[in-house]
Amino acid sequence: MLGKAWGWLTARLGGQRQGRLRFAVHRHPAYQSFWRPSEESERTPRLEIQIFLEASNMTNEPRWIAAAAFEGMPSTATVVIGVRDAGTGKFAPKNPLPPQRIAVVSLLFLIDGESRSADEPFHVTLLLTDDLGERHSTKVILH
């Protein structure tokens, strides 16, 4: 009952309800996010974007990231999603976000089209969908 009342109150006051999964760009130097023109393709210009996120799973069950996209960017993006296994340190899409824990998520995007100027910060809203179909968003700024 209190949870419903709190949800109603925050919606009425314009606040957003806290999600069960929370994401933020990772700040540790070992997980440096970046964006640059892709070196793989000489014919078609591409933008390569590597983002490391710190993900908090506030639920009591494991969750998987099923999809990732950028708001307002082309759907032709190639995305590789990996969650870091705490035991091995390896990233893999089959690894879940462990319940009641924080994990590192790696996202690699290859987007067709002209790259942005390297002198400007890269601003975008990242949209993530989990295995239950719930959508989550986070703002990303890369310098």
Please report the beta strands in the chain, taking only residues with DSSP state E, as ranges in sequence order: 21-25, 34-37, 46-57, 65-70, 78-84, 91-92, 101-112, 122-130, 135-142
Residue type for 83, please?
Answer: V
Nearest alpha carbon to residue 31 among 93, 75, 112, 89: 89
In the structure, what pLDDT confidence band is assigned to residue 142 with cuts at 50, 70 and 90? confident
Map out the domains of the chain with their CATH numbers: 19-142 (2.60.40.1890)
Mean pLDDT for 19-38 is 88
The larger pLDDT score, comparing residue 3 to residue 99, is at: 99
Mean pLDDT for 95-113 is 92
- The C-alpha atoms of residue 18 and residue 138 are separated, in whole angstroms, by 12
The larger pLDDT score, comparing residue 35 to residue 133, is at: 133
Please give the mean pLDDT across all residues of the chain.
Answer: 83
Three-class secondary structure of residue 91 per DSSP:
strand
Taking only the tens place, the pLDDT of each residue in 47-56 is 888 999 999 9
Q: Is the pTM of this model over 0.85?
A: no
CB-based contact 74:111 (threshold 8 Å): yes
CB-based contact 70:38 (threshold 8 Å): no
